[in-house]
């Protein structure tokens, strides 16, 4: 059983650019959630995908968007990057969208916006 | 607004002692709380979940309590080891909600 993987590991972009981050969920999991973790802070929920549909969204602007594919892997897209978008982006998968299910986090993608 | 508060100061303890970490919540009635461990540069790892109708949960050297009167959860690691050194995150969610709110975490440093 493979765990949650994310790519790339690190990324450097400039303000105004666009970025796509990728996540492969754990085998058998159909739900993926994305989080933003700024330095010294806890993860902040961006959104969740369940069976290819957005299933909930946190307090993030529309320039943060996502996709989930039939194999349940997922992408996070961020347009018009701002300096404050610099953070660790975490993906977590779970068996389904039930709130009591354990989430399995990937190692994250460290995004730096210059 | 809903808040989850954890002590931002690092907790330093000696090996073999019990570490106790605190999570307080305000403007909130969470149906459950979760505790995670996070090592530098890594994603959080789930440790324990405790529901509002449970007072205490144990797993090996770990113990979590949930006091809805004090609006607080305590996380204990008994017989602590240097390998327990990490940041511990508390997360809470309302019943039926899949959107957890995380605290900023507390760093635990266990000295040999």
Mean pLDDT of A12-34: 95
CB proximity B30 to A under 8 Å? no
User: What is the model's pLDDT at position A67?
Assistant: 96
User: What is the model's pLDDT at position A109?
Assistant: 97
Which DSSP string do the residues of B56-76 spell out, in sequence order? EEEETTEEEEEETTTTEEEEE
User: What is the model's pLDDT at position A99?
Assistant: 67
Candidate from A58, A104, A106 with C-beta closest to B99? A58
CA distance B6 to chain A (A): 10
User: What is the model's pLDDT at position A1?
Assistant: 54
Q: Residue B83 in 3-state DSSP?
A: helix
A42 vs B103: CB contact, 8 Å cut-off? yes
Q: What percent of chain B stands above pLDDT 70?
A: 96
CA atoms within a 13 Å half-sphere pointing along the CA-CB vector of A111 = 29
Q: Residue A40 in 3-state DSSP?
A: coil
Integer angstrom CA distances of residue A63 from A14, A108, B71: 16, 20, 36
Distance CA B18, CA B82 (A): 12
**Tokens standing for residue B94:** 């309302």
Does the pLDDT at position B96 exceed 70?
no
Mean pLDDT of A51-57: 91
Distance CA B19, CA B95 (A): 29
Distance CA A31, CA A68 (A): 9
Residues of chain B in contact with residue A105, where contact means CB-CB under 8 angstroms, are 43-45
**Tokens standing for residue B51:** 């529901």
User: What is the model's pLDDT at position A93?
Assistant: 94
Averaged confidence pLDDT in chain A: 93
What is the pLDDT confidence band of residue A4, given thresholds at 50, 70 and 90?
A: very high
B4 vs A106: CB contact, 8 Å cut-off? no
């Amino acid at each position: 059983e493979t765990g949650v993987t994310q790519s790339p590991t690190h990324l450097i972009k400039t303000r105004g650019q666009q970025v796509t981050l990728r996540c492969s969920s754990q085998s058998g999991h159909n739900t993926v959630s994305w989080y933003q973790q700024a330095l010294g802070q806890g993860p902040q929920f961006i959104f969740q995908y369940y069976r290819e549909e957005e299933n909930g969204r946190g307090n993030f602007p529309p320039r943060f968007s996502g996709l989930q594919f039939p194999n349940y892997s997922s992408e996070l897209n961020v347009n018009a990057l701002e300096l404050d978008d610099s953070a660790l982006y975490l993906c977590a998968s779970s068996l389904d969208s039930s709130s009591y299910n354990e989430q399995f986090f990937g190692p994250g993608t460290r995004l730096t916006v210059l | 607004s809903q808040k989850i508060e954890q002590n931002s100061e690092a907790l330093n303890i000696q090996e073999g002692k019990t570490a106790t970490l605190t999570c307080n919540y305000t403007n909130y009635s969470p149906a459950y709380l979760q505790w995670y461990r996070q090592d530098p540069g890594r994603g959080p790892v789930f440790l324990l979940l405790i529901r509002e109708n449970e007072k205490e949960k144990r797993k090996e050297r770990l113990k979590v309590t949930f006091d809805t009167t004090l609006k607080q959860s305590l996380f204990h690691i008994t017989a602590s080891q240097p390998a327990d050194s990490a940041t511990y995150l508390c997360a809470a969610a309302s019943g039926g909600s899949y959107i957890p709110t995380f605290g900023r975490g507390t760093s635990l440093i266990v000295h040999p």
